[in-house]
Amino acid sequence: FKVTENGTLYPSPISNRTENYLPLFNFIGKILGKAVYEQIVLDIEMAPFFLRHLLTRKNINYSCFDDLMFLDRDLYN
């Protein structure tokens, strides 16, 4: 995972270069799923664009340009 400028987490764009990246993502998903199931609050903050991708809600008024603000503020400006 990588950290944005405001301290939120998102998967690293180069994670596929790691030999066993799919089992690692599977493991993290199981941990997060178990925490949700057991109603355990985890003190981690995921990037809004990553959470939006996980929810996969289609919004006509949404632009991925809006996510750039969270990833790279200078480029967004």
Q: Tens of pLDDT along 12-65?
A: 878 878 788 888 889 988 998 899 899 999 888 888 877 777 776 666 566 677
pLDDT of residue 12: 80
Strands (E), 1-77: 2-3, 9-10
> What average pLDDT does range 5-18 have in this prediction?
81
**7: DSSP letter:** S
**Two tokens, residue 12:** 């690293």
pLDDT of residue 62: 65
Instruction: Please state the pTM of the whole predicted model.
Output: 0.57
pLDDT of residue 6: 81
49: CB partners within 8 A, 6+ apart: 10, 64, 67, 70, 71
